[in-house]
Structure 1
Amino acid sequence: MTTPESNDIDGGWGWCVVTSAVIFCAIRTGVDRCLSVLYSGIMNEYSIDYATVSRIPGLFYVGYAVSGLIASPLIKRFGYRLCMTVAGLVGSISCFVASLPGPFMKIAIFYGIFLGFCIGLQIVCVLTAITDYFKEKLNFASQLMYVGYSLGPFIACPLFQVMMDFYTWKGTLMILSGIILNSVVTGTIMRPIIQKPELELAKMEQSLEDSGVKEVECSENVTRSSKTSGDEEKMSWQHRLAQQFDLHLFCTLRFHILILQHTMNYIAMSAAFMFLIPYGIELGTISKTEASFLTSAEAIGEIVAKLGFMFFFTKIPVHRQKLFICFLYSVNVVLFAILPSVQGYPGLLANAFGIGVAAGGIDGVYSVFCIQLFPHKYFSSILGYTNTFSFCLCTATALFVGYLVDVTGKLSSAFYFGSVSYGTAFLLMLLLHRITR
C-alpha cells in the first residue's frame, strides 16, 4: 500500500479519509448521545435515581477529557492511524466488559472512563487527519465529516430502543461493542500524508545516492544530527515539556475564549441529550419509541445545517462569520427555554429539529476557526486541550444536572440549564469576534 502524496490535499485519498471519518463519527455519537435510551433498564435493575445513573456520562466525559491531555503527544509519536486502531480495539473490549454481570460502578468505569478515553483519542486522530488532507476545502470536509455526528443518533437511538426491547440493556451493549470495533477499520484508512517538502527531499536523496555522493550526504547528516543533539542537551526539561505539549498556547487570550465558548455549546447539547428522551417518556402521551425519535428529529436538523454550512459558510465574509455563530447561539437560547412549554408530539419534534438546525454546523466550524486563529501545527494540541477542558466541565454538568433533576423533580430543568449555557456561549463568541477582528 503506497503512502499518499501532497497531490492528495483537497482531494484524492482525502475523500476516503473523510468517508471513514463519517462512519467513525456516527459510531461515536451513537455511543454518547443515545446512552439515555438505556437509562430506564439500568435504573430498574440497580434501583438507582437520575443522579446516580448520570455518573456513566459523567465518567465518560472524564475519560474523554483525560485523553485530550496526551492525544497530541501520542499522535506525534505514533501517528494517528496506529492510535486510532489501538483505541478502537480497547474501546470495543471495554464496552463488552461493561455488558457483563457486575456492580453498577463496573458499567460506569468501563463504558464511562475507558470507552470515553478511547473515543476522545480517536476524535483527535480523525480531525487531525482531516486538517492534514484538506486546506482550501477544510470547511467542506469538516462539515461532511460531522454529518456522521448527526447520522449516529438519527439511526442509533431508535435502534437502541428496539434492541432494548428484545435484548435488554446488556445485550444492547454487547452488540454495541461489535459496532465500536468497526472504528479499527476506519483507522486503517487514515494513512499519514507526505507533504511536498518531504517529497522533494526524498527525491533529492535518491538523486544523490544514484550520483554516487552518498558519503557526502552521510557526513552532512552526522554533522546536522550532532548539532541537533547538542541543542537538545542545552534545552532545559521545562522547555522540552512546553514544546512537546505546546504549553505556550495558554498564554494567549483568544485560546481560552475559543475553548470556553465551544465548551458552553458542548454543555448545552449534553444536557439536552441526557434527558430529551426521558422527558418525552415522562410526558405520558407518547411511547418510548416515539420519544427516541425526538433525538432523530434533532439529528435531521443537524444534517440540514451541515449541508448548508458545507456550501454557504465560506461565502460569509470572515469578519462576520463569528457574528453568524452568535446568531445561531441566540436561537438555541430561545428554543431550549421554550421546549418545556411545547405541547404535543409534533411540536416537540419541530422544536428538536430547530435545535439541530441551529447547532448543526457549529462543531464543524470550530476546526475552521482553529486554523484561522492559530498555525496548523498546533491543531492537534488545541483540539486535545478543548476536549480536556470541555469534557471536564461536561462531567460536572452531567452530575449537577442529574442532581438538579432529582431535587426539582422536573426533567425540564435540564433544558433551562442548556438555555443559560447557550447564552454564555453567545457572549463569549461575541467577545472573540471583538478581539480578533
Structure 2
Amino acid sequence: MVCAMANVMAKDQGWAWIITLASFISMALTTGTVKSLGVMLPTLREQFSTQTWVIGLSISLTTAFGIVACPFAGALSKRLTPRHTVMIFSLLAVIGLIMAALATSVQFLIVALLLTGFSVGAHAVMIGEEAIYFDKYYNVSMAVSQAGLSLGIMIMPPMTQLLLDIYGWRGTMLLLAGLNLHHIVCGALLKPFQTDPVELEDNELIKRSKKHQVQENSVITNLVHYLDLTLFTNADFVALLVYMLCSGYCFTGWLIYLVPHAMELGYQSYKSSLLATIGESVTS
C-alpha cells in the first residue's frame, strides 16, 4: 500500500505541466493547420479551377467535422484511454493531409480535409485531461495551452507561403502532414492519472455497476450515456454551445478568407500571409 501511495501523482505539479505543454503544441498544430489551408486557398482554387467559396467551404468543413467528432472522441476515450484516442484521431488527421496532397478533384479534397478535422477532436480530449491533472492551477494551465492558438497562427502563415513557393501545394500538404505527426507524440504524453488505490477500487466498482446498468438499457439509452448527450438538456450548456458556434463561425471565416481577400485587394502573397501574423499579434 505504501509503495502504491508513493506512485500517486499529485495534482498541479510534476507530469501535469507536461500535459500542459502537450496541449499547447496540440493547439498550435490544430489552429495553425487550418490557417495554413487558408493561405493555400488561392493556390487550390487555381489548381482545381473552381470558385473561392468552394475551397473555402471545404476548409471550413474541416473545423465543423472536428467539432462534430468531439463527442465521439470523448466516448472513445472512455472505451479505450485518452492517450490512445488522441493518437488514433491524430493519425487520421495526418492521413487526411496525405490524401489531400494526392487529391485530383474537389470532391476528393473535401473528403481528405474532413479527416483532417479529427485533430480538433483529439485536442478536445487533451483539454479534458488537463481538468483531471489540475486543480488549483487549472486556469493557468488552460491559459498556457490556449496560447498555442496565437503561436500557430503567427508562425504558420509565413511558413506555409514559403513552403508553397519552394515545394508547391502538394509538397506543402505532405510537410504539414509530417508536422502534424507531432500531434501523435503529444497524445503519447497523456499518462493515466494515478489516484489513491482505495479510490481506484471504488471507481472500478462504480464503473462495473454502470456497465451492468448500461447493458440492460436500450441502444438509444446506451448511446446517450456514452456520448454524454444529457448535457444538451442543460440550458447553460446549450447557451454556451450557441455562443461558441457563432464565435467559432466568425473566427474560422477570418482564418480562411483573410489571405485570399488581401490578395484580391492587390497585396502580394507574402504580405497577405504576414497580415495574418500581424492581426493575430494585435488581437492577442
TM-score when normalising by structure 2: 0.88
Among 28, 31, 34, the alignment partner of 1:32 is: 34
The answer to whether the aligner puts 1:176 opposite 2:157 as a matched pair is no
Using the TM superposition, give the Cα deviation of residue 24 of structure 1 relative to its aligned residue in structure 2, in angstroms.
1.4
Is it true that 1:282 corresponds to 2:282 in the alignment? no
Residue 66 (structure 1) aligned to one of 61, 65, 68: 68
1:120-151 CA-to-partner distances (Å, cap 9, x unmatched) read 22012111111111111111100100111111
Contact 1:41-1:168 within 8 A present in 2 as well:
no
Deviation at 1:226, TM superposition (A): 9.6
Q: Does 1:267 align with 2:249?
A: yes
**1:14 equivalent among 4, 16, 21:** 16
Please tell me whether residue 142 in structure 1 is matched to residue 123 in structure 2. Answer: no
Q: Counterparts of 2:207 and 2:181 in 1: how far apart (Å)?
A: 41
Cα distance in 2 for partners of 1:94, 1:227 equals 39
Q: Name the counterpart of 1:122.
A: 122
Moved over 6 A (4+): 224-230
Local SS of the residue matching 1:135: coil
Query: 2-side partners of 1:226 and 1:185: how far apart?
Result: 32
**Cα contact 1:4–1:194 (8 A) shared by 2:** no
User: Larger Cα Rg: Structure 1 or Structure 2?
Assistant: 1
Q: Which residue of the partner structure matches residue 49 of structure 2?
A: 47
Q: Kindly provide the amino acid, as one letter, of the partner of residue 246 in structure 1.
A: D
SS in 1 for 2:13: coil
Is the CA contact (8 Å cut-off) linking 2:38 and 2:56 kept in structure 1?
A: no
Alignment partner for residue 102 of structure 1, among 101, 104, 110? 104
Name the CA shift for 1:4/1:265 in 2 (closer, same or farther; >3 Å): farther
Deviation digits for residues 172-222 of structure 1 (CA, Å, limit 9, x no counterpart):
0011110111111111111110233xx235699xxxxxxxxxxxxxxxx8x
| Residue 335 of structure 1: aligned partner | none
Q: Structure 1 residues 288 and 248, CA, compared in 2 at 3 Å: closer, same or farther?
A: same
Structure 2 match to 1:314:
none
2:231 maps to 1:249: yes
- Give 1:251-330 correspondences, 5 Å limit: 251-284=233-266, 286-300=267-281
**Larger relative contact order (Cα-Cα within 8 Å, sequence gap ≥ 6):** 2
Root mean square deviation, CA, Å = 2.7
Q: Distance in 2 between matches of 1:56 and 1:3?
A: 51
> Distance between the aligned counterparts of 1:97 and 1:258, measured in 2?
35
Which amino acid counterpart does residue 253 of structure 1 have in structure 2? A
Q: 1:229: Cα distance to partner?
A: 7.4
Q: Percent identity, aligned pairs only?
A: 21
Letter of the 1:143 counterpart: A
Q: Is the 8 A contact 1:157 1:292 kept in 2?
A: yes
Shift of 1:287: 2.4
SS state at 2:40 partner: helix
Query: Is 1:163 aligned to residue 145 of structure 2?
Result: no
How far apart, CA to CA, are the structure 2 residues paired with 1:225 and 1:137? 28
Cα drift, residue 31 of structure 1? 1.0
Aligned CA distance change for structure 1 residues 20 and 3 (closer, same or farther; 3 Å):
farther
Q: Once the two structures are superposed, what CA deviation does each residue of 1:63-92 show, in whole Å capped at 9, x if it has no partner?
A: 213312312210111111001112222221
Rounded to whole Å, the distance in 2 between the matches of 1:225 and 1:135 is: 23
User: Alignment partner of 2:115: what SS?
Assistant: helix
Deviation of the 1:237 alpha carbon: 4.7
Gaps of 5+ in 2: none
Q: 1:75 aligns with which of 74, 77, 93?
A: 77
Please say if residues 37 and 277 of structure 1, whose CA atoms lie closer than 8 Å, have aligned partners that are also in contact. Answer: yes
Contact 1:71 1:121 in 2 (8 A): yes
CA deviations on 1:138-172 (whole Å, 9 max, x unpaired) are: 11100100111111111110000011111111110
SS state of the match for residue 54, structure 1? helix
Q: Distance in 1 between matches of 2:97 and 2:76?
A: 23
CA–CA separation in structure 2 for the residues paired with 1:44 and 1:95: 19
Q: Report the count of equivalent residues.
A: 279
The residue type paired with residue 95 of structure 2 is: I
Task: Tell whether the 8 Å contact from 1:4 to 1:192 is kept in structure 2 after alignment.
Answer: no
The letter of the residue matching 1:120 is V
Q: CA deviation at 1:279?
A: 2.2
Cα distance in structure 1, aligned partners of 2:208 and 2:67: 39
Match of residue 400 from structure 1 = none
Between the aligned partners of 1:126 and 1:114, the Cα distance in structure 2 is 18
Which segment is superposed worse, 239-248 or 83-92?
239-248
Q: Deviations over 1:20-51 (max 9, x none)?
A: 11111111111112212111211112211112
